[in-house]
Amino acid sequence: MTQGQFDLRGLNFEEGYIAVLDKPLEWTSTDVVRKIKFALQKAGYKRIKVGHAGTLDPLATGILLVCIGRATKMVEALQAEEKEYVADVMLGATTPSYDLEHPVDRTYPYEHITREGVLEALRTLEGKRLQTPPLFSAKKIDGMRAYELARAGETTETVELRQARINIYEIELLEYALPRIRIRVRCSKGTYIRSLAREIGEALGSGAHLTSLRRTRSGGFTAEQAWQLEQFLEKLRQTETK
């Protein structure tokens, strides 16, 4: 099985292929899968299976593993592997979605925050624990997506979100430039970096939200191996029609 290589010549995608992609900003993970499946169908693979191993929010970029053909059997195993992210967090303000999808709904003082305080807050958030997902997420509640309830006017006070058990192996402070910080996070499946941003604000006696997010690693796959989406689609268009 070929994984993340930059040459598609001679491949039989039905046998299995893992495309390591750099998901573009504002694309959903489903958008990427749909686009690739359409290109494969145009190339002659009429009934081929395509799926992704780990959702990225539309406002996030970076590693998205797209499993093709028999590689779709590996989706669950790939999703379970460790992830790494680089995130920008804005202190002193919150949003309903915990990121830039929605405007700021409340501001907080942040002048009291120090570099040492940030390092201590990050340390307290490492390890195994429970985490509450954002209301604006794809989590299902009584058969509905949480974001559908949020858009219908429900709030965290009226909707009970089930906490997930996560493991944050490491949080490294990369940049400190109040009110913004940049962090690198190594974590388990199911970790919401948007929720982590919110938790950082609370730990610092302030508020916070995510302003950018990039997945830099998924299991053993890194950004250096990734195709740009348009590059991959162009290679698919060049494959011989079956």
Q: Provide the annotated active-site residues.
A: 57
SS3 186: strand
Strands 180-187, 83-91: pairing kind: antiparallel
3-state secondary structure of 77: helix
Phi, psi values for residue 213, rounded to 5° = -150, 135
At 27, is the secondary structure helix, strand, or coil?
coil
- Tally of CB atoms within 10 A around 50: 24
Strands (E), the chain: 2-3, 17-23, 50-52, 60-68, 83-91, 93-94, 106-107, 127-131, 140-141, 144-145, 164-177, 180-187, 208-218, 221-222, 227-228
**Percent helix, percent strand, percent coil in the chain, to nearest 5:** 30, 35, 40
Burial of 81 (0-12, 13-18, 19+ CB in 10 A): middle
The phi, psi pair for 195, rounded to 5°, reads -65, -40
